[in-house]
Structure 1
Amino acid sequence: MAADWLGSVVSINCGVTLGVYQGEVASVDQASQTISLRQPYHNGVKCPVPEVTFSAMDIKELKFLEIQKAVCKSGSDPRVMTEPAIMPSGRSIQSNRSTHSHVTSSTAPVTILRRAPAGSSTSRGPTQAALKKNGRNGAATGPMRPKDEECFGDATDEGLDTDFDFEGNLALFDKAAVFSQIDGTNVHSSRVHPHGNVTEQKPSSYRHDENILQVKPVVYRQITVPQHGGKEYCTDSGLVVPTVPYELHKRLLEAAECCGLSLERRLETIGVCSSQMALTLLGGPNRLTPKNVHQRPTVVLLCGPHIQGAQGISCGRHLANHEVEVFLFLPNFVKMQEQVTNELNLYIRTSRKQVASVKDLPTSPVDLLINCLDCHENLLLSEQAWYQSVADWANQNRAPVLSIDPPVSGQRQTIEAKWTLSLGLPLPSDVRDSRVYLCDLGIPKMVFQKVGINYHSPFGCKFVIPLHPA
């Protein structure tokens, strides 16, 4: 009956070492216990040789993929056939599909019975067919049915002695095609119209930073002003931020106060944002840690008796609250505005390091200087003797300088700043080598509209952003 298997398509599993073969049965030799496949495939790849022969000792499992038509036409059931005399004992072959129309189930297992060699380790006692016959016919001499068979059926332990061949099954997949899709080498996939016309091309894969949703083009000029300051900046994301004249900036702050954003609230906002920037410049979490109390950074605040000075005092109070050693210079021989006095009263409750003379300032280099001496209203302040002496001390200290609300174009700048912090919208400035930053004052959008400014916030998730020359 070995000739009945000729022409059938089978899959032979030879274990991890040899792998899985598929092909058409060319011959079955009962004497030598071998089977030959023509046009074989090894692990899904066509073999370079036209025929491969296997020994029964190498075969772990044999499955039928297609049974040749002659067997089905003979009238015999292809699910129970005569052994081709090559399978070891206790192993089965399965038919996955049949070409005959009267076969009711194409996936039913085909059981092959063969006498195992003496001392074979693969023999597991009586076969399932023997247990089934003796147990259900009630023969007194037959073995008793196992409890698993009574509870779960006849084929409970079928195939449990064979491990699943992960490597053999993995070899059947086209890994190159899968990885090419993952890597995005197939850039575009086309949708073909039923008449053959390509109607659409779309990317089959996207990078992690690509948006798969269609969005409107970005408008980078989202802030327009009625009076231009003559210079423009741009943010890290490319948004354009124009400068405004000092008169327009002043009207903007006055409109904010009329809408409820008082000067005290603005001073607190500036103090928080400027102190946060200063803490970052001082080293942030790498410098200010509980284990580094012996190396606390030192900051000197140079403040004048005006609103700009009050902004610096507010910044110094927040820095002192974060365990920064702050020295505040504020002249006590000139008349101070009310806001300066209020901020000073809050500061001395946090830190008592306040000096009014240049000779009381630190003689050793400090970590950071914060300049708040200049005033937009009083242009003659920089000509006074005390101002010039403080400016000379600052230039000789050689510490990096952060200037808050710096002078506008045309005003004298005696202290060179490495960083400048503008408020709300930048003012035109003659400073060239300074890095410009912008602080969010929290002014509502409706307030900008009242002074003729079409405004969209450029800050995103931050309150202080860097600006670059456009």
Structure 2
Amino acid sequence: MATDWLGSVVSINCGMTLGVYQGEVSSVDHSSQTISLRQPYHNGVRCPVPEVTFSAMDIKELKFLDIQNTANKPSSGQGATTEASITASGRHGQSNRVSQPHVTSSSSHSSTAPITILRRAPTGSSNSRGGTQATQKKNGVRNGGAGGPMRPKDDECFRDGAEEDLDTDFDFEGNLALFDKAAVFSQIDGTNGNRSQHLSAQGEHKHQNYRHDENILEVKPVAYRQITVPQHGGKEYCTDSGLVVPSVPYELHKRLLAAAERRGLTLERRLETIGVCSCQMALTLLGGPNRLTPKNVHQKPTVVLLCGPHIQGAQGISCGRHLANHEVEVILFLPNFLKMQESVTSEVTLYSRTSGKQVASLKDLPTSPVDLVINCLDCHENRLLREQSWYQSAADWANSNRAPVLSIDPAVNEQRQDIEAKWTLSLGLPLPLTETESRVYLCDIGIPKLVFQEVGISYHSPFGCKFVIPLHSP
């Protein structure tokens, strides 16, 4: 009877247009030639309706995936009688008749179109593996075990897959088209919105979405103006994190350095700190680990230092000494002055113990472009140096060499800069430099916080984990 197959799990192939459906047989109507499935799946996706009905005219292929045991089921008087048979090849090629159902329907040409139940037969006696598994099923012994009946779940796991129809390709594009991406993300956004409203009602933080670099434990807003000065230099900068760094006039900067020296931060300590920090910046500008490697000894970078007979010149010589220690080819230009500051003499003595070169004439400098020029010609105290011939000649050589220039602690000049610098390194706090295309950087020279307070500066370090940071115009 047709009702004997109720509850069986079947797969119905309706062609490329309608696709493939799977579900549990809920009814078979012989008179109307229809079959209904409950809890159906369409192309592997659960259908939104609880039941679907198919006409025999639309069915291309029907396969039973899980047939209910009809031996213990009472026959029902409802429905029409269905009958069919298929041939399954045994171990020795013998034919066995297995009773299976089929439904007949009348087509538009008055011919019958059966719903065919297909099963692929085992490979026969030539395949020893298939024969062994068929014997195990016949004897009712579990795969790998002995003496116990095979459970249905084990049968699904360990059978040879002879009943699988592998001729039909899976429709990936059709299955993907069933996924409504917009609806899923809309549902996710709605869930997050409800959660945000719930948390807001409980008095928690309003913003629940954070970037990867935000602190979720932050309980108060950040004060971006953490440095205040009694005398403003007229220009402000900001760091990458948004902290405001004001510029200071040279007079206040000079009093800050004097206070630091009284507290023990002597000139020699500052020169060493400035030399290390400026050297680290120069190494980064030269290419860092991509350029300075033991395998790249034939392409060592060349750096030219232009220094004067003052503290700024001593800072540059300290930087050149550290660069030479890092296997950089350094050429120091320092004219033979009649009088130089003691700090310059001490730095020249240390520099002479390195592999760096020292020249006193511009004729001895390279005529071809070098990798980097470091400008330390300017002096905050003596502005007349700019008018001397050696200074102008050195500035002309730097501008004509076509090499990028790094200026360390340049003097404030409201009119012009004689050497066009690509980078400018300020110390402690920036000075109100001339508006140029130079990128301004700030160097931490180790001045304690209480020393800033002695000169009336409220100070919080903007450096974070670095000793040299870039500054940007707001």
**Does the alignment reach a TM-score above 0.5?**
yes
Distance 1:20 1:369, change over 3 A: same
Are residue 51 (structure 1) and residue 48 (structure 2) matched?
no
- Aligned amino acid, residue 37 of structure 1: S
Q: Which residue of 1 aligns with 2:305?
A: 301
Instruction: For residues 324-377 of structure 1, give each alpha carbon's deviation from its aligned partner in whole angstroms, at most 9, with x where no partner exists.
Output: 221112233332233222222221111251122333333444333211122222
Are residue 25 (structure 1) and residue 26 (structure 2) matched?
yes
Q: Which residue of 2 aligns with 1:349?
A: 353
Distance 1:436 1:332, change over 3 A: same
Distance 1:424 1:452, change over 3 A: same
Q: CA deviation at 1:404?
A: 0.5
Q: Which residue of 1 aligns with 2:10?
A: 12
**Whole-angstrom CA distance in 1 between matches of 2:134 and 2:375:** 95
Instruction: For residues 79-109 of structure 1, give each alpha carbon's deviation from its aligned partner in whole angstroms, at most 9, with x where no partner exists.
Output: 953699789899xxxxxxxxxxxxxxxxxxx
**Whole-angstrom CA distance in 2 between matches of 1:352 and 1:38:** 89
**Whole-angstrom CA distance in 2 between matches of 1:387 and 1:245:** 25
Q: 2:383 aligns with which of 359, 376, 379?
A: 379
**Whole-angstrom CA distance in 1 between matches of 2:454 and 2:85:** 93
**Whole-angstrom CA distance in 2 between matches of 1:306 and 1:238:** 35
Q: 2:440 aligns with which of 416, 428, 436?
A: 436
Indicate if the aligned counterparts of 1:302 and 1:372 stay in contact, CA closer than 8 A.
yes
Q: CA deviation at 1:289?
A: 4.4
Larger CA deviation: 259-268 vs 288-297: 288-297
Q: CA deviation at 1:316?
A: 0.8
**Whole-angstrom CA distance in 2 between matches of 1:402 and 1:167:** 65
Q: Which residue of 2 aligns with 1:42?
A: 42
Indicate if the aligned counterparts of 1:316 and 1:347 stay in contact, CA closer than 8 A.
yes
Instruction: For residues 271-324 of structure 1, give each alpha carbon's deviation from its aligned partner in whole angstroms, at most 9, with x where no partner exists.
Output: 122223223333444544445444433222111222211110011112222332
Q: CA deviation at 1:50?
A: 3.6
Distance 1:23 1:259, change over 3 A: farther
Distance 1:178 1:293, change over 3 A: same
Are residue 158 (structure 1) and residue 161 (structure 2) matched?
no
Q: CA deviation at 1:120?
A: 4.5
Are residue 311 (structure 1) and residue 315 (structure 2) matched?
yes
Q: Which residue of 2 aligns with 1:71?
A: none
**Whole-angstrom CA distance in 1 between matches of 2:262 and 2:67:** 87
Secondary structure of the residue that 1:189 maps to in structure 2? helix
Are residue 326 (structure 1) and residue 360 (structure 2) matched?
no
**Whole-angstrom CA distance in 1 between matches of 2:72 and 2:170:** 30
**Whole-angstrom CA distance in 2 between matches of 1:63 and 1:35:** 19
Indicate if the aligned counterparts of 1:372 and 1:404 stay in contact, CA closer than 8 A.
yes
Structure 1, unmatched stretches of 5+, are: 65-76, 91-112, 133-143
Larger CA deviation: 313-322 vs 50-59: 50-59
Q: Which residue of 2 aligns with 1:69?
A: none
Distance 1:167 1:185, change over 3 A: farther
Indicate if the aligned counterparts of 1:149 and 1:155 stay in contact, CA closer than 8 A.
no
**Whole-angstrom CA distance in 2 between matches of 1:363 and 1:213:** 58
**Whole-angstrom CA distance in 2 between matches of 1:337 and 1:291:** 40
Structure 2, unmatched stretches of 5+, are: 76-81, 89-96, 101-117, 123-129
Q: CA deviation at 1:232?
A: 0.8
- Aligned amino acid, residue 51 of structure 1: F
Q: CA deviation at 1:468?
A: 2.1
Distance 1:152 1:115, change over 3 A: closer
Indicate if the aligned counterparts of 1:22 and 1:42 stay in contact, CA closer than 8 A.
no
Secondary structure of the residue that 2:440 maps to in structure 1? strand
Q: CA deviation at 1:243?
A: 0.2
Indicate if the aligned counterparts of 1:422 and 1:437 stay in contact, CA closer than 8 A.
yes
Indicate if the aligned counterparts of 1:407 and 1:413 stay in contact, CA closer than 8 A.
no
Q: CA deviation at 1:56?
A: 12
Secondary structure of the residue that 1:311 maps to in structure 2? helix
- Aligned amino acid, residue 404 of structure 2: P
**Whole-angstrom CA distance in 2 between matches of 1:12 and 1:386:** 98
Indicate if the aligned counterparts of 1:234 and 1:241 stay in contact, CA closer than 8 A.
yes
Indicate if the aligned counterparts of 1:379 and 1:411 stay in contact, CA closer than 8 A.
no
Are residue 262 (structure 1) and residue 266 (structure 2) matched?
yes
Indicate if the aligned counterparts of 2:136 and 2:143 stay in contact, CA closer than 8 A.
no
Indicate if the aligned counterparts of 2:444 and 2:463 stay in contact, CA closer than 8 A.
yes
Q: Which residue of 1 aligns with 2:112?
A: none
- Aligned amino acid, residue 47 of structure 2: V
Indicate if the aligned counterparts of 1:188 and 1:204 stay in contact, CA closer than 8 A.
no
Instruction: For residues 31-68 of structure 1, give each alpha carbon's deviation from its aligned partner in whole angstroms, at most 9, with x where no partner exists.
Output: xxx9822576524236997425599984241378xxxx
Q: CA deviation at 1:183?
A: 11
Superposition TM-score, scaled by structure 1 size: 0.69
- Aligned amino acid, residue 407 of structure 2: S
Q: Which residue of 2 aligns with 1:361?
A: 365
Q: Which residue of 2 aligns with 1:101?
A: none
Instruction: For residues 170-215 of structure 1, give each alpha carbon's deviation from its aligned partner in whole angstroms, at most 9, with x where no partner exists.
Output: 9699743598439976584325999xx9999999987766776665
- Aligned amino acid, residue 228 of structure 1: H
Q: CA deviation at 1:152?
A: 9.6
RMSD over aligned CA atoms reads: 5.0
Q: Which residue of 2 aligns with 1:138?
A: none
Instruction: For residues 135-154 of structure 1, give each alpha carbon's deviation from its aligned partner in whole angstroms, at most 9, with x where no partner exists.
Output: xxxxxxxxx89871448975
Distance 1:431 1:152, change over 3 A: farther
Larger CA deviation: 233-242 vs 278-287: 278-287
Q: Which residue of 2 aligns with 1:240?
A: 244
- Residue identity over aligned pairs, in percent, reads 58
